[in-house]
Amino acid sequence: MKQKLTVIPLVLLFVLAGCAAPAVDSLPEEVLTGNPLLDPSDLPFGVLPLDQIEAAHFLPAFEESIRQRNAEIEAIINNPAAPTFENTIVELEYSIVQLQAVASVFYNFLSQVTDDELDEAAEIIEPMISEHLDDIILNSELFARIEAVYMLKDELDLNEEDIMLLEETYRYFAENGAALPEEDKERFKEINMQLSSLTLQFAQNIMAEVDDFRLVVEDAGDLSGLPPAVIAAAAETASAEGYDNAWAFTLQGPSINPLLVYADNRNLREQAATAYIMRGRNDNEYNNEDILKEIIALRLESAQLLGHSDYASYSTQGTMAGDRHTVESFLDELWEATLPVAVAEAEVLQQQIYSDGHNFELAFWDWCYYAEKVRTENYELDSGEISSYLELSNVLEGLFMVIENLWGLRIEQVEGLPLHHGEVTTWEVTEADGSHVGIIYMDLFPRPGKQGGASMSYFREQYITPDGVFIHPIITVNCNFTRPLEGEPTLLNYEEMVTLYHEFGHALHGILSRVTYPSFSGTSVPRDFVELPAQLMENWARSPVVLKMFARHYESGEVIPDELIEKIEAAAHFNQGFLTMELMASALLDFGYHTLTDASGLDVDRFEQNIEELYQMPESIYFRHGSTHFMHIFSWGYAAGYYSYLWSGVLDADVFEAFVETGDLFDQAMAQKFRQEILEIGGSRDAMEMFVAFRGREPNIEPLLKYRGLLQ
């Protein structure tokens, strides 16, 4: 998933990832008039006229927002009154609201409906944002006022959220270059400008390569093992692209994943898997190897300018883990528990290969295929049978029932709101008494110009204005589920169903936010805490009690039988060694890159091999995200932070255990406690303090090991 990751004052939006142009002069009135990004909305719920926004609107909207903000910053600096919390920290906090509003729309468009015109605009806008934000964070006069207020913090009459804002604002300025000598500030700005362009190019290359790739099959015999719906979808794709009597597969998950799971043709699986891991590494214009090396070198240089030996030491500041050594110890502990389980699983699959009369060694393009065979034979569990009970509208109905049973919230579809794409749907969230909470946009299927994977982000974050007006959030949930054939029902596979619950966990974190300052809204928490609400919701998705609430056969309406649920439960720990290891491998790869103290001579292939050898990874397991297509760490802000999914896994398993201990998965007192102590708090309190306030103690790793079947 992807969304705002850290507790970071909005004044610093995007700066850590390296994302603002010289001071912008006032633009002509005719350029600004009628710009839907700048005009106040008079639409229901304050939503924007997304259907009217064009690529040409963004650059002038950014320029005007930056111009206005520069004027506000100058007013803060030139204020003759002594620095106070209100005239410095608070005014700085709210100065970015307009820029953030434009940026939220821009980055959602860039990830959901991009085209050449929008990509070209991004190449201008990204460096513009980077330079603007650097100009602010490196402004000595502004930092002097911030520091003056900070030094008086013990004498000020501030509430908990005020104190957090003051401390976080000071810390981020201090730790991100505000105190650097002038010559180092200039280099720091140059680095951030370069990073803003490089991280954008990295992502654009992956999207372009995914859009360009087609694996075309012309012999029907090569499709043996594939479900009829997958074959029909591939035929439809081929026909739409001008191929006669053929089947076309893409690198989008709903297309390639069934190939790896079901295709009897080993050569076809190898082609698909190789194409997937070679994204960004092929000898073409989309190769990301040099970009990756430059990003790593620049991040290291910036960290060393700030007094750190490596980027991970810099990046783990302010996280729940606190420092790189805590992360390394955590990863070592979990790896030690995972490795023997994954090795044992590999041996089971190898024996299956031999039993099938083959003598080849298990490879990474074989794992999913033989895991499915073993699952089917040992547990009599057919993934297609499960999907027949997971029709999308029923899944949504069940998800909404879970949310209502836990928190009393109701979610109902709203028609008639303007959309940025025709497939998007809109939903209103209300309290039990009918009062408005927020709006959720849902965009669930893949298409050209849309990033892969699943994510939650904002069109508008929750906060309270200086005048005391509560701003309700507008959330967007984006997935890439298997697209149904025309006239056919949308049947999710089990993993897609769990993914939907996951992203709605993030959405709840955003929609239930009750903070004052926009910097702390919803998911604006340390990145190793942000996955907690999302991964927690996955536990309800897998619960037999919940499955019985919504899982009905798409044709007969029959409720999912107990026998099938028992099979799902029996297989719950199956293949968990593999799933945990491939995720951990990418976390180790990420941390390996970002603990380098010398990036010269970096060879991507050799670096991956070193990680594999150092941790004795089985050859049949590849990284969940290989280097040249690792969008999380090279485009999305998870640099030295991909471990967060595992760290949050400890948190979510421990929190869910609290519900299990009550004997009622819908214990409303426990749900309300989680809402009040975590979901509503956003980033306005220390993450460990929030966890302890809910659980009564610090987190325990054992529930994670138990739920993943890794306890020895």
Cβ neighbours, 10 Å, residue 684:
26
User: 396: which residues sit within 8 A by CB, 6+ positions away?
Assistant: 500
Residue by residue, DSSP assigns 490-516 as -BPPHHHHHHHHHHHHHHHHHHT---S
Instruction: Say if residues 652 and 539 touch (Cβ distance below 8 Å).
Output: yes
User: 341: which residues sit within 8 A by CB, 6+ positions away?
Assistant: 576, 577, 580, 709, 710
Across 597-683, where does the E strand assignment appear? none
**In the 8-state DSSP scheme, what is residue 488?**
S
Tokens of 184: 């180092």
DSSP 3-state helix, strand, coil percentages of the chain (rounded to 5)?
Answer: 55, 5, 35
Which member of 131, 503, 538, 608 is catalytic? 503
**In the 8-state DSSP scheme, what is residue 220?**
G
CA distances from 182 to 73, 169, 339 (A): 20, 21, 49
Cβ neighbours, 10 Å, residue 562:
10
Residues counted in the chain: 712
Instruction: Say if residues 268 and 259 touch (Cβ distance below 8 Å).
Output: yes
Instruction: Say if residues 298 and 195 touch (Cβ distance below 8 Å).
Output: yes
Instruction: Say if residues 388 and 491 touch (Cβ distance below 8 Å).
Output: yes
CA distances from 16 to 177, 198, 376, 638 (A): 11, 14, 46, 11
Instruction: Say if residues 48 and 459 touch (Cβ distance below 8 Å).
Output: yes
Instruction: Say if residues 635 and 612 touch (Cβ distance below 8 Å).
Output: no
Sequence letter at residue 382: D
Residues 165 and 608: their CA atoms lie apart, in Å, by 40
Question: Quick check: is 503 catalytic?
Answer: yes
CA distances from 313 to 183, 310, 630 (A): 23, 6, 20
Residues 93 and 90: their CA atoms lie apart, in Å, by 5
Sequence letter at residue 406: L
Instruction: Say if residues 149 and 85 touch (Cβ distance below 8 Å).
Output: yes
Catalytic residue list: 503
